[in-house]
Structure 1
Amino acid sequence: MMTMLKSFKLINFERITKSYFFAFIANHLIYYPTPVSLTYAWSFGSLAGICLVIQMVSGIFLSMHYSPNIELAFSSIEYIMRDVPNGWLVRYVHANGASMFFIVVYLHIFRGLYYGSYMKPRESLWCSGVLLFVLMMGTAFTGYVLPWGQMSFWGATVITSMVTVIPTAGQYILEWLWGGFTVKNPTLNRFYSFHFVLPFVIAGVTLIHLALLHRAGSNNPIGSDTGVDDVPFYPYFFSKDLFAFTVFIFIFGIFVMYFPNVLNHPDNYIPADPMKTPAHVVPEWYFLPFYAILRSIPHKAGGIAAMGGSIAVLLIIPFNNTSEIRNTTYRPIFKVFYWLLLASWAILLYLGQCPVEDLYALIGQILTVYYFAFFFVLIPVIGKVEAALAHYKVDNAAPAAQAKSYSIVKSRFGTN
C-alpha cells in the first residue's frame, strides 16, 4: 500500500496539466471558482448530467435487444423483461430514469426562477437551458411510443396530429412523420431513429450550456456577482454534489426496486390495437401540466398554440424582467406570486390526468390564465412596483436620517 502511495506521489500533476486537454478539465472541473454560498439547490444541474449519462448508457443496452417493428416491438420489450439477463433492471432503470430526469430538471428550472438565474449576464445560459428542456421533451415523447402499447400508439396518433393546425404544410408534415397515411411501421422506425439520435444532440447542447455557465459564472443565493468569496469546485462542492448524488441514487433505487411501475401507465402493458381507443388518452406524467393547458382551451388551434406557448414563454423571461434583485427571498411581493405559480403548476399536473369535465376545464382555464399572466404581466409589473417602492423608501428616509444626524450633533456640540 505504501509503495502505491509513493508511486502516486511521483506523478507530476503540474506537468500533466500543461496538456491542453487536462488543463481544460482542471480549469472547468477542479479549479473552477464557485461561490462559497451555494446550497444543495445548485446540485440539481450535476444530477441532471448524471441522469443524462444513465439514460444514454441504459438506452444503448436496450437498443441491442429492441426491434423497431410493429409486429415485434411489444414482444421485444417482454423478451427484455423476461429472458435477457438483468434486462428487467435495465428497462426499469431507463423508464424510471426518464421520470427522475424530469423531476431533477423541473427542480432546476424552479430554482433558477427563484434565484433569478435568467438575469444579466446569464440570458444566453437560460435560453440554452430552455432549448435543452425542449429537446428532452422531444426525446421523451419519441421514447414513449417505442413499447408500442395502447397508450404509445394512441399517444403518437393524437400528438402528431397536432401539426395539422399548421396552414398548408401541416398535412404534409404529418404524412412525413407517419411515413404514410396512418401510424404504422414507418412511424415506429422514425421515432426509434429520433429517440436514438436526440440524446447525443442533448449531450452536445449540454456542453454549450456548461460553456455559457463557466463564461458567466455560477449564480448564488445572495444574488450578487460582487463581494462573494469563491472556492475551487473540488473538493468543496464536489463533496456536496457527491452527497446529493448518494441521496438521489437511494431514492432512484427505491423506485426501480420497489415501485417500478408507479410512474408508468398501465394501458401501455396492453399491445397496441388501432381498432380500440383507450378511455382516456394521456401522455407521461411530466407532460401533464402542458397537456392540461392544451385541454383547457376548446379551440384546437388555440389549445395547441397555448401548449407550445407555455414552453416558449420561458424564453422571454430574461428580456421582460424589470427587477433589480435576483433572489426572490428579498422580493416579498414577487415571492407570493412565485409560490402561486408553483401551486398552479402542480394543480395543472393533476388536472392533466383527470377526465374532461366542466369543473376541471374551468379550473384549468383559470390556472392557464394565471400561468401566462405571471410571465407576461406579473414579472415586468412587479419588478417596476418593487423598484418604485424601494426608491420611495430611500428618498423619504434621507431627510429623516439627515434630521436625526443634525439632532445628534446639536445635542453633543450645541449650536452657535
Structure 2
Amino acid sequence: MSFPWARQYEPKTGLTKFLDEKLPLPRLVFNAVGAGYPVPRNLNYMWNFGVLAGFFLVFQIVTGIVLAMHYAANAEVAFATTEHIMRNVNWGWMMRYAHANGASFFFIVVYIHIFRGFFYSSYKAPREMIWLLGVVIFLLMMATAFMGYVLPWGQMSFWGAKVITGLFGAIPLVGEPIQIWLLGGYAPDNAALNRFFSLHFLLPFVIAGVVILHIWALHIPGSSNPTGVEIKQESDTVPFHPYYTAKDGFGLGIALLLLFTMVFFLPNALGHPDNYIEANPLSTPAHIVPEWYFWPFYAILRAFTMDFILPAKLWGVLAMFAAILMWFFLPWLDRSPVRSGHYRPLFRKFFYGLLVCMAVLFWCGGAPAEEPYVMLSQVATAYYFLHFLVIIPIVSQVERPQPLPYSITEAVLGSDKKAVLGENTEPAA
C-alpha cells in the first residue's frame, strides 16, 4: 500500500545508512509495522487478533523446539518421555503446559479473527488473496494440531489418530491405500508416530511462510476497517506505530495474563484426562473425542447417520472438509457492495444465527454420539451450509443496506465538513 502522505524512512546513523544500502531490513520493518505504514484510524480491538495470532505462532514454535529436545518419537517410550519432560526436565512441566494451552489460545484468537472477517466481509475485493491465504493457514493449523495431539501417545492420542486416519478409509477405491500410506501400516504405531512428529515439527515453519505471504498481501490494499469504507484522505489514517503498536501491546498483555492463568492454575482444563493413560490398542475409551478446537467439524462429521447413494461415513467426511473449503468461495458468494455488517441489518441477523449455530456445533462435537446431540448436530450442520451457500448469496442480492459514511474520518468525527476534509479547524493566530 502506498500513500503520498506516508512517512518515509530516513537512516540517521552510519550503521543504519550502511544497512539501508546493503540490507534494508530497518526500512522493511518501518514500512511494514512502523510509522511508515498508515492504517485506518477507526480500527477497534477486533483488529488485535491478527497480531495475537502471529505472536502465538512464534510462541508455539519456540516452546515446541524446546520440547522436541527432550521428546523421543518412538511408540515404546513416547509416553514415558512426555512424563520425563513433566517430572525431570527443569521447567519442563511449564513448557509442556505452555505449549498445550498455547495451541488452544492460538485457535481462540484465530477463530475470533475469522469470524471478525465474516462480519466485516474482509474477504471482499480487493482483499480476496488475503482471505484465501488465511484459509490455507487455518487448514495447516488443523493438520499441525492433529499431529501434535498424537505425540503424547496417551489413550486419546492413539484412538484419535485411529479414528481420524480411518476417515480416509471411507473414500472409495483409494481410501484404504491412503490410510495405510498415512500410518505407515494398518494401525497407529511407531511409523505413524515418527511421521506425525516430523510433520508436526515442519508444518509450523510452513505456516510461518504462508503468514509472511498473508501479511505481504495485506500491505497491497491495506487494512480493512469497521465501516468498510476505503481510505480517501490523509485524515483517514494514523501511523501503525505508535498508535496500534500500543493498542496491540495492551491486547497482548491481556492475552498473556489469561494464558499464564491457565498454565499455572488450570493447565488441564482444556485437555482430556484419558490422555494421561498410556496408549493401549486393546482398550477403547468409552467416549473418543478430539481437542476442543476440532469439535464443530467433528459434530458435522457425526451428523450424517444414514446411507443415501453414498455411505453415511463418506458423506460425513465430505461435509467435514467442505465446511472449511467453501470459505475459499466466500468472496464470490457474497455479492453485496457493502462490506461492514454494521450497515447490513439483514445480514447481521443471519450472522448472529451463524454464531448460535457454531456454539451448538462446539457443544455437540464434545458430547457423546447419542440423542439429543446427534439431532442438534444435524440441525446446526444444515444451517451452517445453508448460511454460506444459500442465505449469503440471497441476502447480498435482496438486502437494502443502510447509508455509508462518506469517509472513515466522518465515521469517527461526525459530519463536520472541515474535520472530514482534514482542514484546519483552529483560528489563525
CA distance in 2, matches of 1:231, 1:15: 29
- Where does residue 278 of structure 1 map in the other structure? 285
- Where does residue 289 of structure 1 map in the other structure? 296
Q: Does 1:202 align with 2:215?
A: no
Aligned to 1:332, which of 340, 345, 361?
345
- Where does residue 362 of structure 2 map in the other structure? 349
Displacement of 1:358 after TM fit? 3.0
Displacement of 1:226 after TM fit? 3.3
Q: Does 1:263 align with 2:267?
A: no
Cα gap change, 1:27 to 1:390, in 2 (>3 Å): closer
- Where does residue 408 of structure 2 map in the other structure? none
CA distance in 2, matches of 1:180, 1:77: 24
Displacement of 1:341 after TM fit? 0.2
CA distance in 1, matches of 2:232, 2:25: 32
Displacement of 1:328 after TM fit? 0.4
Give the greater-gyration-radius structure (CA): 1
CA distance in 2, matches of 1:232, 1:329: 25
* Matched length: 383
Q: Secondary structure at the match of 1:358?
A: coil
Kept in 2, the 8 Å contact 1:47–1:245? The answer is yes
CA distance in 2, matches of 1:54, 1:189: 23
CA distance in 2, matches of 1:350, 1:358: 13
1:168-317 to structure 2, matched below 5 A, reads 168-227=173-232, 229-298=236-305, 299-317=312-330
**Which consecutive unaligned segments of at least 5 residues does structure 2 have?**
1-11, 306-311, 404-429
Counterpart code for 2:77: L
Counterpart code for 1:43: N
Displacement of 1:117 after TM fit? 0.3
Aligned to 2:84, which of 75, 79, 83?
79
Cα gap change, 1:80 to 1:329, in 2 (>3 Å): same
CA distance in 2, matches of 1:191, 1:13: 44
Q: Does 1:114 align with 2:129?
A: no
Displacement of 1:20 after TM fit? 2.4
Kept in 2, the 8 Å contact 1:150–1:272? The answer is yes
Kept in 2, the 8 Å contact 1:17–1:26? The answer is no
- Where does residue 423 of structure 2 map in the other structure? none
Kept in 1, the 8 Å contact 2:19–2:25? The answer is no
Aligned to 1:376, which of 350, 367, 389?
389
CA distance in 2, matches of 1:12, 1:149: 53
Counterpart code for 1:257: F
Kept in 2, the 8 Å contact 1:146–1:192? The answer is yes
- Where does residue 23 of structure 1 map in the other structure? 27
**Which consecutive unaligned segments of at least 5 residues does structure 1 have?**
1-8, 392-416
CA distance in 2, matches of 1:21, 1:390: 44
Kept in 2, the 8 Å contact 1:282–1:353? The answer is yes
Displacement of 1:180 after TM fit? 1.4
Aligned to 1:93, which of 94, 98, 101?
98
Q: 1:203-241 CA distances to partner (integer Å, 9 max, x unpaired)? A: 000000000001121000111113361121111110110
CA distance in 2, matches of 1:362, 1:75: 41
Kept in 1, the 8 Å contact 2:343–2:402? The answer is no
Counterpart code for 1:233: F
Displacement of 1:12 after TM fit? 7.0
User: Kindly, what percent of the aligned residue pairs are identical?
Assistant: 49
CA distance in 2, matches of 1:373, 1:10: 60
- Where does residue 148 of structure 1 map in the other structure? 153
The CA RMSD measured in Å over matched residues stands at 1.7
Q: 1:21-73 CA distances to partner (integer Å, 9 max, x unpaired)? A: 22222111211111111111111000000000100000000000001011100
Counterpart code for 2:361: L
Kept in 2, the 8 Å contact 1:322–1:381? The answer is no
Q: Does 1:385 align with 2:398?
A: yes
Counterpart code for 1:326: R
CA distance in 1, matches of 2:18, 2:342: 46
Kept in 2, the 8 Å contact 1:115–1:326? The answer is yes
CA distance in 2, matches of 1:294, 1:63: 32
Cα gap change, 1:390 to 1:256, in 2 (>3 Å): closer
Q: Secondary structure at the match of 2:399?
A: helix
Counterpart code for 1:26: F
Cα gap change, 1:390 to 1:63, in 2 (>3 Å): closer
Kept in 1, the 8 Å contact 2:40–2:231? The answer is no
1:28-47 to structure 2, matched below 5 A, reads 28-30=32-34, 31-47=36-52
CA distance in 2, matches of 1:222, 1:20: 35
Question: Which structure's residues are more often helix, by fraction?
Answer: 1
Counterpart code for 1:247: I
